[in-house]
Structure 1
């Protein structure tokens, strides 16, 4: 068993050896607590038959824990300066592939085909950079990748928004976009003290598990998300007002919006945050003929 990368002392040694300085613009906060890393990995339920995809390995703290449990790890790192560091820290492991790329621009489906074709079970496990958590998550969800789910660390506030239920303040279009694809639960909160440098906010680990079937069948997924985004545009407004002001030519189509709301059995004076995903699905399908045909 190799000495863990993620201890404060070892982390400092590695940073010093490479003269590495943190780039704020890349949201670099490295974990320095092996117990927390072990817990994160345990939530992913990996075996040697599984593969893991990681985003932003840093100096390899989480990567090595994944490599110990999974059959193979593919990790996306955008920061060129970390490539030689990773080559060094992860040298004891032969089941890791580092891809030097911005995951937002990468063809992830193709990389899975090339690198992970032998694996039926694939999980995304990552300590996501805070400033791009949402775009990364949405990209990985919407590209319909062959993954079982994700175990991802992020700012606690974002994790709370993603896992929120209708009728709560945190519930919004992000909750719906993610929960349409996956069941979302916050499995642990992580204090800022276990990071170097310490972020200003607490973090949480979110476990996402793919639904066997989406919670609602819709005609057009992207239109569903357009309707949900429109419904939350101004939280104090009613669903009718938001749809009128946000959907293309909505003001002129007030009658049609009212017909669709009636058809979906939704009171026009309700607010977006009171609607469930199923209700949004019915509403999107009722609005579809008036806005998409």
Structure 2
């Protein structure tokens, strides 16, 4: 049985701060499910982003020889050693995860990253991490369910979009389970979900120009009601569509990752 430290922020004398997007997990069953999903081994190089009041930190630190946490809130960082069962195993880094270079933590083995991510910075943080995917074994995160559904969506669905295409370009994305708002204190206004990202050691599909792929995907999904011919006018001619093997009358939500890569590679001019 994992040792759970599901604390109430009010009892701890800590007021959740909106500017940091703080919602503290306290449901023991949810915490246990997350730890089981991560399945940490004693010698894993685990990094937790936003440990908060150590609800997830406590059971994780009981399973590994060393746990690194990245916390922006100085007050929370200062209180962490007193909230975990093995403070000698804890490596605390006070930093903004959006700006932090995670490569400095992967000197001897790849990272296993976990966290209840602040919803207000989740998208840029995910891209910051996948761009360092060569040093990351896997990531287990909790976000609002709507975003997780978009990340793990398949073509021909309403939730399929830029997040789906670009994160699945870098990683295998797996939806794990839903988390109700009542599992947090204070409860957010949305339902959450836990998911897994596994960066590819070698991408199964490789674009000639990844920056162009990202720009193209972002562009067509801002005009998702338009046909590709209209949204890519001036960037891709009929010969380009033919070369890519993509119907110019199609709409972006119908395309696979492979088709987006073919379009990007066939562009007459880059974005």
Aligned to 2:269: 290
Aligned length: 271
- Using structure 1 for the length normalisation, give the TM-score: 0.87
CA distance in 2, matches of 1:154, 1:63: 17
User: Partners in 2 of 1:154 and 1:179 — Cα distance?
Assistant: 17
For 1:16, the equivalent position in structure 2 comes to: 11
Q: Which residue is 1:265 aligned to? A: 245
Higher helix share: 1
Contact 1:109/1:145, CA 8 A, preserved across alignment: no
Deviations 1:6-34 (CA, angstroms, capped at 9, x unpaired): 1xxxx23x6435x3111112111111122
Residue of structure 1 aligned with 2:142, choices 128, 135, 153: 153
Going from structure 1 to structure 2, the CA distance change for 1:144 and 1:212 (only over 3 Å counts) comes to closer
SS of the residue 1:216 aligns to: coil
For 1:184-223, list aligned pairs within 5 A.
184-223=173-212
Q: Is the 8 A contact 1:183 1:210 kept in 2?
A: yes
Q: CA deviation at 1:121?
A: 4.7
Instruction: Provide closer, same or farther for how the CA distance between residues 174 and 2 of structure 1 changes in structure 2, counting only shifts above 3 A.
Output: closer
Question: Of 100, 104, 111, which aligns to 2:98?
Answer: 104
Aligned CA-pair RMSD: 1.9
Equivalent runs, 1:231-242 vs 2, <5 Å = 231-242=220-231
TM-score with structure 2 length normalisation? Answer: 0.93
Moved over 3 A (4+): 14-17
2:113–2:136 contact (8 Å) kept in structure 1: yes
Match of 1:163 in 2: 152
1:212 CA drift (Å): 4.2
Q: Which residue of 2 aligns with 1:81?
A: 75
1:183 matches 2:172: yes
